[in-house]
Amino acid sequence: MCTKYAFILISRNSFSLQEKELESAKAEMTEVREENARLKTMIQKIEDDYRSLHMRFIDMIQQEEPKNSSSNNNNNNKPSLSRENIEETELFVSLRLGTSLSEPKRDDHNTTSSSSKTREDSEHLQLKESLKLGLDYNLEASKSDCMEVMAPDRSPENSVEEIITKDEEAAGETWPPSKVLKTARSNGGEEEISQQASVKRARVSVRARCDTPTMNDGCQWRKYGQKIAKGNPCPRAYYRCTVAAACPVRKQVQRCAEDMSILITTYEGTHNHPLPVAATAMASTTSAAASMLISGSSTSQPGLIPPAAAAAASDALTTNNLHGLNFSLSDNSRARPFHFPNTSSSALPFPTITLDLTSNSTPSHHSNLFSSVFPQSPKYPSNSLSFSTESNMVPTIWGNGYLKNGYNNTNIGSVNFGRSHSQLLDQFNNYQKSSQASSQQVLTETLTKAITSDPSFRSVIAAAISSLAAEGGGNQGGGGESMGQKLKWGEAMQVVSSNPLAPNGKQICTTNYLNHQQPPLPFSLSKNNSKEAAASRDQMN
DNA sequence: CGTTTTTGACCAGCGC
DNA sequence: GCGCTGGTCAAAAACG
């Protein structure tokens, strides 16, 4: 009797439990629908914004086309190096790209809505698989002179470090190693030397989660040195571009001491040769950041530049240097908190802008990265312009800006896109799932929203566009391909991802965001020196 | 055999 | 001036 009653009770309890679950599921669905509706509205608005912005942009390009054709003639006249004739400035742009190894696996991809976690996972996967960064920029009018400011004489006499093209890192950053400078001086290149000294050096650092020794950026590199840098047990490798014999571009590759799954690739110099198509993606990204820094620092004065000066830098990007385009966005860029430290000090500080596209989704992790990304170089204050993503759909979504402070723990002049972007992007993630909108469209919308809501982000995008234009219009045959090419970042990324092997056939990391897939092997947290890396490489081959 | 990598040496800049 | 550090060179080794 009692047993029977208990059974009935249990049954009823079980039933009520199921009922509750059903109700909660229904409530959840309702919430999701409401959110969906909100997001649709938001997307609609963003689409409108994007269209208007795009139209304005096209108009500006068309307006500037005649100007460019005339100003391009001045490229060989060292247009404004004199303007740059301040002390040599070390510029350091750090871009962080990459993915998280802890990302949801493909197996996790299910469409059930039983939990928000699962939903997020599937959303991330969908985004990862489909999103592309699509500025959708038409290069029809891309005879660019936006980089001409940085483009010095290209006479045959120019030594390696002087050959500056409208290319990635553009902006006149050169690689004037002291020895090369000495050599050039012995060759009687006094004038050139003075130019070199005046030309600012920009560094573009790409931080990517990568389990291979180097990252496939589309170029061919030859290793010429390796050093143990202070504060990082992982050796720093020095590579030189071998696509062209005299290409001055070099890069440093080093694992992050804090998170050895992160590969820090620092580019310096400008390619003096056509870039392979696969290299254009990275070139575009890095040139965007570099040009931003160059432009910003060109207006800076020793020491902290006032916000107005920083804003001027921003404005220079968004208005003057963009092909001379009036990329006139709202003027709240004045509040842009850039900081270009004292360029004449002995410390040669590196303003650092961090495009944090590694997936660091936990706030605590952000804090860690914030303070210790580059612990080995405390002397370099940095500007960190950080673009983080929450998963490995990396360049597809920019946002969730978590600051990475490049070289010390002082958060000076950082630009943080903050949670607003993150939330926005989350919303996009959700929308992406429900609407199956074209990934590129979503991305451009995302960018548009970001552009319209954040002046800093705006500047970066503007610089990216300018660099793309420069490549299209310049002699970067491989980079710009051809005039009128509809260059989309996503396409470029796909090109890269389709080429997981370096030209020399060795496996290198295209970064997961390029591959749109998880790394095949879990990254070992052991000291990842070059030998282990080589072993890993061998294993993968 | 040509190319790439490794690695110790060298150099310059900077701080003390 | 000295030591430290980052960056580069270049010979030797490894690789294909």
Torsion, Cα of A318, A324, A325, A330 (10° steps): 30
3-class DSSP state for residue A96? strand
pLDDT in tens, A141-200: 333 333 333 333 333 333 333 333 333 333 333 344 444 444 433 343 344 434 433 334
In a domain, A223, yes or no: yes
First to last CA, chain A: 70
Pick the more confident residue, A118 or A407: A118
Task: Return chain A residues 189..228 having CB < 7 Å to nucleic acid strand B.
Answer: 220-227
- The two tokens of residue A233 are 């047990």
Boundaries of domain holding A248? 201-293
In a domain, A337, yes or no: no
CATH of the domain at A244: 2.20.25.80
* Residue nearest the C1' of C10 (CA based): A224
* Residue nearest the C1' of B10 (CA based): A179
B strand bases under 7 Å from protein CB: 3-9, 11-15
In a domain, A263, yes or no: yes
pLDDT tier, A264 (very low <50, low <70, confident <90, very high otherwise): confident
Among A21, A39, A61, where does a domain finish? A61
Q: Is the CB of A378 under 7 A from strand B?
A: no
Q: How many domains does chain A have?
A: 2
In a domain, A23, yes or no: yes
Task: Name the least confident of A124-128, A300-304, A356-360.
Answer: A300-304
Nucleotide closest in space to A266 (CA vs C1'): C7
Task: Name the least confident of A96-105, A212-221, A240-249.
Answer: A96-105
3-class DSSP state for residue A90? strand
In a domain, A354, yes or no: no
Among A24, A43, A61, where does a domain finish? A61
The distance (Å) linking the CA of A90 with the C1' of C5 is: 17
- The two tokens of residue A172 are 């006149």
**Block residue for tokens 């400008």:** A270
Nucleotide closest in space to A268 (CA vs C1'): C7
Among A275, A293, A311, where does a domain finish? A293
Q: Is the CB of A182 under 7 A from strand B?
A: yes
Share of chain A above pLDDT 70, in %: 23
Burial A208-236 (b: 16+ CB within 10 A, else e): bbbbbbbbbbbbbbeeeeeeeeeebebbb
In a domain, A233, yes or no: yes
Nearest-angstrom CA–CA distance, A266 and A250: 8
The distance (Å) linking the CA of A186 with the C1' of B10 is: 19
**Block residue for tokens 């965001």:** A513
Q: Is the CB of A25 under 7 A from strand B?
A: no
In a domain, A212, yes or no: yes
